[in-house]
Amino acid sequence: MGAPAKDLNYDPNASPMLRFHETIAAFLDGGDTPRAYLERCLETIEALEPTISAWVHQDPNIARAAADAATERYKKGQPLSLIDGCPMAVKDIIETADMPTQMNSAIYEGWQSVRDAACVQALRASGAVVVGKTVTTEFATGASGPTSNPFDAGRTPGGSSSGTAASVGSGMVPAGLGTQTAGSVVRPAAYCGAYGFKPTHASLNMGGIHPISNTHDALGTIAGSVDDCWHTAYQIARLVGGTAPHPGMIGPATLDEPLKPLRLIRLYTDGWSEVEAPTREAFETLLRNLQGKDVEIFDKDDGDDIAELERLLEGVDALSRTITQFERRWPFNDYYERHREKLSPVLRESMEKTMHITQEQYDNAVAHRRKVRHQVDALGTGADGFITLTAAGPAPLGLETTGNRSFQIAWTLTATPSISLPLLSVDHMPLGVQLMGFYDKDERLARNAKWISKTVLG
């Protein structure tokens, strides 16, 4: 470990994050090149990695070869996509043919796949530069890894997409891949001051990604801007589609103009009781600012339909655990039988508590989830989306846990898209605001997110 990170006095208006889409013009006119851009990223990684520990594996030679190929395409005015030449981080539960995929598990130590995951295949075919594999919690559900928060080395970066969020939030790379079964894209993005986008469930192909829960697992993107989140997700959807039967995320290659949301529903959920005064004040101030821009904010006191959704979301964390931990029986029960000694105590204890979830308990949870999803759909005719905090506060101290998931869990359960926006700070640390949308309305959500970010940050 190097020296611990200093208190950087995080300022949303002065983030170290990179915005790849803003560099494309310089690539095309010769003012910059993907190879030079990559070298700057590698220099930042070399400087910060001893403190942050975001990476499990890097291969600069592979990255440089990809950046050189992208440089030649830009010289000819023939880039493959809007992420051609973009340095990317890949969460280490996602298979790569040329780098190990170890999932922070002793079971998979040194394991090398013979294929790229569908999403990695799409990134490479789009010209993206895969820099390396980033730290995940054990199988994205167990013990935490060594990654620290880029703004305070004594705090968690969140999980399970810990390394991707920390690498993006610190400016090591402009974008990367994460996955979410509960809150594992948007929460670490929020803690690390990055943008995190979880599209509609199954709208990005999950092939080659280690499973936990088929009905909740989702591939997402973390980046330094809404645009780069979208461009990365779009290329995956365009080239490899969604996870069947979903045909793939719906929307154009670019987001074009920001779109002002006219009506947002403010949700409290179980998480609000855990929010401390400074975080409440920061969020309430943001809502007042949006209202000052003629965005209507409604909540449970303004309609029985919203109040009913809040009621249905009570206890949603336990509900979600019942579903996901019943669905993870394969392959986790097999790991438990064959490789129990290689599982962390944290994961073994969790499995032993949940191995006896019954079919009836699972069926009841799925039935309640169906009611939640129906209620969300019913609200879609009168609102552009929902708004809440991404987490109950800034990243907590300690690296043993990855933080509270109360605010993220609902929009994984509903299968609808969500975006975490790094708009606020508390105690000199990033604080995310979560914007949530409706099924397959990802483009509208992303354009609303662009408008809110531009309005708040200027």
By C-alpha distance, which of 420, 61, 384, 375 is closest to 225? 420
By C-alpha distance, which of 159, 94, 160 is closest to 133? 94
Q: What is the mean pLDDT of residues 367-390?
A: 98
Q: What is the pLDDT of residues 416-452, one digit of tens each?
A: 999 999 999 999 999 999 999 999 999 999 999 999 9
Distance between CA atoms of 255 and 405, rounded to whole angstroms? 29
């090149």: which residue's tokens?
33
Q: What is the pLDDT of residues 80-133, one digit of tens each?
A: 999 999 999 999 999 999 999 999 999 999 999 999 999 999 999 999 999 999
Q: What is the pLDDT of residue 347?
A: 97
DSSP 8-state symbol, 141 = T
Question: What are the chain's domains?
Answer: 12-257 (3.90.1300.10)
Q: The whole model's pTM is what? A: 0.97
- Residue 245: is the preceding peptide bond cis (ω within 30°)? yes
Instruction: Tell me the catalytic residues.
Output: 91, 160, 184
Q: What is the pLDDT of residue 3?
A: 34
Give the pair of three-digit tokens for residue 330: 């394969």
By C-alpha distance, which of 362, 338, 80, 365 is closest to 231? 80
Q: What is the pLDDT of residue 10?
A: 86
